[in-house]
Structure 1
Amino acid sequence: MRKGKFVSQLRFYFILLILIPILFVWVFVSMFLRADYLDDAVLENRIVMGNIETIIDETLINAETSLYLIGNLIIEEHADVDQILKVLDSHGDQFELVEVVDEKGILLNAYPSTNVLIGSDKSAECYYETFATGADTCWSSSFISPRSGNPVVTLARQIGDKTIVGYVNIDHIANVAENFSKNYNHEFHISIVGSHGEYISAKNREFVYQRRIINRFDEICSIYENDEPYGTLDHLGESTIANVTYIEKSGWYIIVFQPYTEIIREMTELNRVFLLTAITAILLGLFYAFRQVRKISREMNKISQETHTIAGGDFNHSIEIDTYSEFKQLMDDFEVMKGSIRSRNDQLHTLAYQDALTGLNNKAMIFEQINRWIADKGIKNFGLLFLDIRKFGNINDVYGHRNGDAALAKFADRLRQFEVDEGVIGRFWGDKFIILIPNFKGVDVLLERAERIHIAFEQPVAFNNIEIPMAFTIGMTQYPLDGEDLNTLIRNLDLVMHESEVIETGRTILFNEELSKKVRRRIAIENELAKAIDNQEFCLHLQPQIESKGKHIRGFEALLRWDNARLGKVGPSEFILIAEQSGLIKQIDEWVMEHAFAEIQKINKLFNKEFLISINVSAAQIQRIDFADKVIALMDKWKMKPQLVELEITELSILNIMDNVTQNINKLREQQVKIALDDFGTGYSSINHLSEIHVDTIKIDRSLMNNIDKSQRKWIIVKNLYNISKQLKYDVVLEGVETENQISFLKQLKEVYIQGYYYCKPQPIEELIAYIQKWQKEANEQA
């Protein structure tokens, strides 16, 4: 009896010795694997969500860009219906309908115009409320189009005094949820909803067409607004973890649900294996008793160690089990599980660090590589070569986005030949690529590599019987010379690429402090320039044009001056070019013209004279289709006599756009507006231009006035230009005359006008009025 009791107790203890370690390992593994699987699930959700967000962002940006181009075509270029429909057709089914609405909300036109009520009132549409806040672009909530039965949103954009409204087909976005669910092994539930919770995309397409509202929308919004890593929600009858992101541009939410059943499925399988193994171990323990206790403990310790290794993220380590087929099977299951996790991690790594279009490293991988090299003491230096393909948007417009993507892929293929010497090549974003070159020996190595890249792309990329030239610039920074951390290097690289936007393609730009100051100055000027008119920072100075003998004032040139609180006084030679490049020149030119008309009217009324006003016009303005009409409208507004208005253009500014300019000039001259050719004698083929373009005045450049009384060559040039101009019956204005000697010498030329500091510097109107009064008094006394 005692012996039986002892044996029973012994058996009980043996069972405990086997069972307790098994249960301990089981709980330990379950705890760690649950956390690991949950983290992986959240990461998977975020990657899927990020990919969807990228697709939607690209769709929205493409739609805005396309609508802007179509709007300019309709409003600015006055294209006919066939041209507009052809452009719409080139954008595929991106737009179902494009409408043009005037400032009062009246529908002026639609493309295509079938079943559209022209003249209907659109003033109650939501985009007018958005425009009232100062925005110029508005995305509406989604709705089912009565024309096609497909989900659409309206994109409205103000262009001038018109509103262009595009009905954007988002049917392919509605397919996103279903497509992503098919592409993943796990049963993701992906939903895209509008600002009120209405389905835009769902695994069940009927939800979209039924305009169903997603359940628990308030809780979904709360997850995003509270910046929670994930939320736990019941979705379609299942308990899920949910990740949420918000697309600010359109007001949409992307929600990725992953059922808990999917997350713990492999854990459940593993637990089943553990349970089976535990039962087997208990039975074996009863048979083998004391002989097997040590072996079992030893093997269980191995298993415990392996679970710690897996929980720590090491999937390459493996152990050998030399007893019991059940334990060997358990380790085989461990290997299968590790292989599955390793494969999934590899897939996640590819999604996270590889560009889907080109197969190159993406920006995240580039940043990680830079940080890795900075931390690696074996890397003494490395260079960053940044390739910016110029005007790639034009390629998309001409050849379509699909061919544009193919061109980028071909560009990347050709770029791969430079992936040598442990270098790294990646697609930074869009049409921008980056090459990292470690441990280079001197900057000449980087410059030579850049030159080889330029040579490699002298021939266009070719595919599908299409050849597309890829023009680009290369910006370059160096570690540690130009920065000792990632942020500094990338910031300086941005400055280099900002400089590249204003130079010709095929150039390589190396970062230095002088360039940094220059670009920062240009950026500061551009930022301040955008606010200059509203802040009333501009003023006009007027400089008289006086007959060479000082007896008659012809008129005044209006010269723009800018005094900024932050930058101080900025000269036109510095800010006008920036205004042209940034597109601000239109507002500035119109401001100058309005104020010049106002001031000359004031002067003429005060002195009962008909002085003319001479106004500089940029090349960007004079080639605009509506330029002449705009000038005529402003003259009507200020009741200006056209013969008292003179517009100055330069030779160099119109060198390559003669055809575009001629139409505007002819229209203005028909109204008796005078045209002056400024800086004459310094451009290309000056004499030839006199035969190509009709003008009224020649302004001989100040560079020919310097030391003209001492330079026979300059005198011959000026005299011949004068003779030609007079034979063509042009007025002649000599710029930059400053000395008595120059005046005495130039009096040999009859009927010319002097503009320069000798008579008067450019002055604000108050000082100029005093000067005119003094000049008139002296002229009367001399008479």
Structure 2
Amino acid sequence: MKKSRKLRDYIIRSNILAVLLPILMVGLLVVSIIIYYNEQEMQQKNHIITATIAQRISQMLDKPIADLKEIAELIDRQILSADKLMEYLETVVTHADYLEGLEIIDENARVRYMAPYNQYLMGISRVNQAYYQIASRQEEPYFSTSFISQQTGSPALTVAMKHESKVLVAYLNLEQISLLSSQLSESYGNNMLVAVTDRRGVYISYKELEKVYQREMDPNIYMISEGIQERDFYTGKHLDHWITAYPVENANWYTIVYQSVDTLYDTIKRIIFVSFLVILMFFLLSTSITRRNLRKITHSFQEFLDQTREIAKGNYERRVQTDSFEEFHQLAESFNIMVDKIESRNRRLQDLAYFDPVTKLPNASYLHDFLGNMLSKHQKTNKKLAVIYFDLDHFKRINDTYGHTFGDEVLAQVGERLLAEEDQSGTVARMSGDDFVCVLPDVGDLEMVLEKIKNLRKKFVLPISSRDTEVYLDISFGIALYPEHGDTVETLLQHADTATSTSKKEGSNKYTFFHESMKLDLRRKMDLEKGMRRALENQEMSLCYQPQVFAKTAENRGVEALLRWHHPVFGSVSPYEFIQVAEESGQILAIGEWVLSKACEKLAEFNDHQPHKLTMSVNVSTLQLRSRGFVEMVKKYVKKHKINPSFLELEMTESVFIHSFDEAVTILNELREIGVKISLDDFGTGFSSLSYLRHLPINTLKIDKAFVQGMETDKDTEIMIDSVITMAHNMNLDVIAEGVENEWQLQAMKRYECDMVQGYHISHPLTEEMLGKYFEKKNDENS
């Protein structure tokens, strides 16, 4: 490396008057350019940060408003009893970690419902509370000022919303927001401080948490609030900090970023100091000048100026080259260090705006921009494009079983596998939750799409391991093509998502191309869900009863209660269709309670008029069984209709044991203590194994009709049914075969000593009137 010369030794032979003026002019120009662009860039980046944080907080504050609106809707529909409404409030508070409690205040300003339940607060008057007085007089939700919760000792907020003559109240825990400043400080370093205040300036989030708990106020709040009233945000310099503030929608809060002036200008000060030393040495030591030396110095500064302007325009790839003079060498190195820091900061901000922190994949914002650019190009070139929407089947089950932290660890490994994919065609992004999108920008034929799906599947053949736990992931895919299925970003994503939902209905690891008929199916599902909310009230639902007989004697054993729905527009709706809608929308709880009550009522009537006591089988969903108070509800209707509980049989599928085997067994044991019978329905199509049967508190095993109807064509199925019946009898279980539709199947069940049979060969499902005639005929035959 060539040894640098001392500028002092060189300039002493130059003319000080010829050199000093250009040095001063260029130095001032360079410094002014650097200061201007740094200040502009800093203000712009801080504005993005405050706006992003404000949007994130606003989204957090939207959640309790959505909860209150949903509660208001339930109150309007009047489908839940008082106990069920209290239970629903308890469920919402339990699953929402941002809520401390919920209250429903009646027209007399007294607490009518609350969660968590507190007998000392039930009925207390809220008429003197500011949030009640304000919310009861306005239509928009009211956000109180922040306060320290007596329950948790953390910052909290009251959200109140008027609904008719009532006021709905949510107590919001602000602990996550209060920790936001310290978390962001770890990301941005000590040079930047982020704070969140309420409308009075009281800190809700601050790096030093004691200021939050001591309710300290931001000293600049009046200056900030006045500035925001004039325009949407505030930015300005105050003492030794640049201040940027942005309002939070709904709550009238402010997000504030303090950027240290000293740290921002440290590099500039060093440059100015070095430049000053250089100029001073030129001034003191220069004794002569030559044209040749003046041209060399002027050329060096001109090159430095040109390169500085390029960097100021945003061209960070270009760097200032070191000079042969030691002082210029230091100046160039200091400037390049400053540029590296600016570039690094830009990269961090870009990662924050366009990349998902959990999976390290591009996020939804990036994907929208990328897909929009691709569509603009393809409109000119007529190329085809594919959007592959895919999500992880049953991922909610992983979160519910192992917790959301474990779920995030699984998603992180999903991101690693997608980033490490050998086939790098297309761009993969995480939309939200467990939803991902892959964009193939140039699709020659459908084989390219199918090959991409094949490669994505390969990545998840092996299980994902975390904390000594292995989980297997199945993926459902939905594909939308440009231009066949849409020509905008929103349309293509929506259609691909709709196709994914169709794939999930067909089973795991399926893929489906979008078709217009899917939109009709989706609309029908929405119409069914809407109509179901008033189906019971409008008496559109009814029960049919399918007889069950003893296989050997053909005597009546009982009936299975089957739900039917006659929609005013769609007519008779298949139970396979509307039961799924009821479970997904949560309406299965109200419908299930009605079915149980109606079935118990009819069981009492049947057994009062029949010579032989009948058993009533009632289907129970997993959501019903796991709902709070289910066992008490069964007791209530058994007592209300004065039925012998041994003639009530509750049928449930193997899916009830998926979430928690021990919890399900505990509930079934409580039901057995009442005296009701338990039947395991659709055996062989679910998730449990034969070895689990001996641990289940059940009375009856019900063989699925798919196996019964497969016996005639499949010898292995016939052998398997024989083995299952033998095994069940060895475990003292009764066996009933459903779906018996011909004489051959009936005789086969007799040969295998199946206890009971049910199916079209015995009888179709009958209305109450038809069932009475059926019993009369059977009684006449037996007599």
TM-score, normalising length: structure 1: 0.62
Provide the rounded CA distance (Å) in 2 between the counterparts of 1:571 and 1:511: 24
Question: 1:217: how far off?
Answer: 5.3
**Cα deviation per residue 1:254-296 (whole Å; 9 max; x = unaligned)?**
4323356665666676677888889999999998799999989
Provide the rounded CA distance (Å) in 2 between the counterparts of 1:659 and 1:36: 63
2:552 counterpart residue number? none
Compared CA separation, residues 654 and 222, structure 1 to 2 (3 A):
same
Work out whether residues 196 and 253 of structure 2, in 8 Å CA contact, stay in contact via their aligned partners in 1. yes
Question: 1:574: how far off?
Answer: 1.1
Mapping for residues 632-647 of structure 1, pairs under 5 Å: 632-634=635-637, 636-637=639-640, 639=641, 641=643
1:231 counterpart residue number? 234
Matched pairs, number: 671
Provide the rounded CA distance (Å) in 1 between the counterparts of 2:260 and 2:340: 23
2:47 counterpart residue number? 42
1:453 to 459, 466, 474: 459
Mapping for residues 199-210 of structure 1, pairs under 5 Å: 199-210=203-214
| Residue segments in structure 1 that go unaligned for 5+ positions in a row | 1-10, 62-71, 79-87, 111-117, 157-162, 726-731, 738-753
Work out whether residues 604 and 610 of structure 1, in 8 Å CA contact, stay in contact via their aligned partners in 2. yes
1:243 counterpart residue number? 245
Aligned partner of residue 310 in structure 2, secondary structure? helix
Provide the rounded CA distance (Å) in 2 between the counterparts of 1:565 and 1:214: 61
1:442 counterpart residue number? 448
Question: 1:577: how far off?
Answer: 2.8
**Cα deviation per residue 1:200-255 (whole Å; 9 max; x = unaligned)?**
32244442232224456577678889982x313687x666432336387x996543
Provide the rounded CA distance (Å) in 2 between the counterparts of 1:530 and 1:131: 30
Provide the rounded CA distance (Å) in 1 between the counterparts of 2:675 and 2:526: 34
2:216 to 198, 212, 216: 212
Mapping for residues 670-749 of structure 1, pairs under 5 Å: 685=724, 701=738, 703-705=739-741, 708=743, 713-714=744-745, 716-717=747-748, 725=755, 735-736=759-760
Provide the rounded CA distance (Å) in 2 between the counterparts of 1:620 and 1:263: 60
Compared CA separation, residues 716 and 174, structure 1 to 2 (3 A):
closer
Work out whether residues 14 and 285 of structure 1, in 8 Å CA contact, stay in contact via their aligned partners in 2. no
Whether 2:487 is the aligned partner of 1:513: answer no
Provide the rounded CA distance (Å) in 2 between the counterparts of 1:256 and 1:590: 54
1:191 counterpart residue number? 195
**Cα deviation per residue 1:576-611 (whole Å; 9 max; x = unaligned)?**
133235543222112334466789999999x99999
Compared CA separation, residues 101 and 568, structure 1 to 2 (3 A):
closer
Provide the rounded CA distance (Å) in 2 between the counterparts of 1:12 and 1:598: 111
Provide the rounded CA distance (Å) in 1 between the counterparts of 2:34 and 2:646: 91
Work out whether residues 613 and 646 of structure 1, in 8 Å CA contact, stay in contact via their aligned partners in 2. yes
Work out whether residues 554 and 612 of structure 1, in 8 Å CA contact, stay in contact via their aligned partners in 2. yes
Work out whether residues 101 and 122 of structure 1, in 8 Å CA contact, stay in contact via their aligned partners in 2. no
Question: 1:142: how far off?
Answer: 5.6
2:525 counterpart residue number? 525
Aligned AA for 2:579? I
2:634 counterpart residue number? 631
Work out whether residues 361 and 425 of structure 1, in 8 Å CA contact, stay in contact via their aligned partners in 2. yes
Compared CA separation, residues 142 and 298, structure 1 to 2 (3 A):
same
Work out whether residues 499 and 518 of structure 2, in 8 Å CA contact, stay in contact via their aligned partners in 1. no
**Cα deviation per residue 1:120-175 (whole Å; 9 max; x = unaligned)?**
66846889979999xxx99997654668866577999xxxxxx99999693x7645
Identical positions, percent: 20
Aligned AA for 1:521? D
**Cα deviation per residue 1:441-494 (whole Å; 9 max; x = unaligned)?**
634422431342232x24x525xxx32212222233557466665434433443
Kindly report the root-mean-square deviation, in angstroms, between the aligned alpha carbons of the 2 structures.
Answer: 6.8
| Residue segments in structure 2 that go unaligned for 5+ positions in a row | 1-15, 67-83, 106-110, 161-167, 550-554, 680-698, 708-720
Aligned AA for 1:454? F
Provide the rounded CA distance (Å) in 1 between the counterparts of 2:53 and 2:187: 10
1:617 counterpart residue number? 619
Provide the rounded CA distance (Å) in 2 between the counterparts of 1:294 and 1:351: 47
Compared CA separation, residues 155 and 239, structure 1 to 2 (3 A):
same
Question: 1:705: how far off?
Answer: 3.7
**Cα deviation per residue 1:523-547 (whole Å; 9 max; x = unaligned)?**
7526742662346455234557799
1:469 counterpart residue number? 470
Work out whether residues 643 and 672 of structure 1, in 8 Å CA contact, stay in contact via their aligned partners in 2. no
Mapping for residues 477-488 of structure 1, pairs under 5 Å: 477=478, 480=481, 486-488=489-491
Provide the rounded CA distance (Å) in 2 between the counterparts of 1:382 and 1:544: 50
1:592 to 592, 595, 601: 595
Mapping for residues 70-149 of structure 1, pairs under 5 Å: 123=124, 143-144=147-148
Mapping for residues 601-616 of structure 1, pairs under 5 Å: 616=618
Aligned partner of residue 204 in structure 2, secondary structure? strand
Aligned partner of residue 316 in structure 1, secondary structure? coil
Work out whether residues 427 and 439 of structure 2, in 8 Å CA contact, stay in contact via their aligned partners in 1. yes
